Amino acid sequence: MKKYFFIGGIFLLIIFLVLITDTYFVKRNEIKNSSKPIVKEVEWAAPDTLLIPATKEGDLIRYGRELILNTSRFLGPAGKVVHISNGMNCNNCHLEAGTRILGNNFSMVAVTYPLYRNRSGKMESVEMRINDCFERSLNGEKLADTSREMRAMISYMNWLGQGVIKGSKTAGSGSEKLPFMKRPADTAKGKIVYLNHCQRCHGKNGEGQPGDSYGEYLYPPLWGKNSFNVGAGLYQLSKFSGYIKNNMPFGTTYKSAVLTDEQAWDVAAYVNSQPRPLMDLKMDWPDISTKPFDYPMGPYADRFSESRHKYGPYQDIVQTEKKSTK
Q: What is the pLDDT of residue 324?
A: 74
In 3D space, the residue among 257, 262, 233 whose CA is nearest the CA of residue 245 turns out to be 257
Q: Where are the alpha helices (DSSP H) in 113-236?
A: 126-135, 148-160, 187-197, 199-202
Is residue 9 scored above 80 in pLDDT? Answer: no
Mean pLDDT of the chain, nearest integer: 90
Q: What is the pLDDT of residue 321?
A: 81
Q: What is the mean pLDDT of residues 177-204?
A: 98
Is residue 18 scored above 70 in pLDDT? Answer: no
Q: What is the pLDDT of residue 40?
A: 75
Is residue 3 scored above 50 in pLDDT? Answer: no
Amino acid sitting at position 142: K
Q: How confident is the model at residue 28 (pLDDT cuts 50, 70, 90)?
A: very low
* 79-96 per-position pLDDT tens digit: 999 999 999 999 999 999
Q: Find all residues with CB under 8 Å of 293, minimum gap 6, and list them.
A: 238, 309, 314, 317, 318, 321
Q: Where are the alpha helices (DSSP H) in 136-259?
A: 148-160, 187-197, 199-202, 237-247
Tell me, what DSSP letter sits at residue 283?
Answer: T
* 97-119 per-position pLDDT tens digit: 999 999 999 999 999 999 999 99
Q: What is the pLDDT of residue 248?
A: 98
14 membership: H or E segment, kind and range: helix 2-34
Q: What angle do CA 230, 232, 238 make, to 5 degrees?
A: 100
Q: What is the pLDDT of residue 289?
A: 96
Is residue 16 scored above 60 in pLDDT? Answer: no
Q: How confident is the model at residue 135 (pLDDT cuts 50, 70, 90)?
A: very high
Is residue 11 scored above 70 in pLDDT? Answer: no
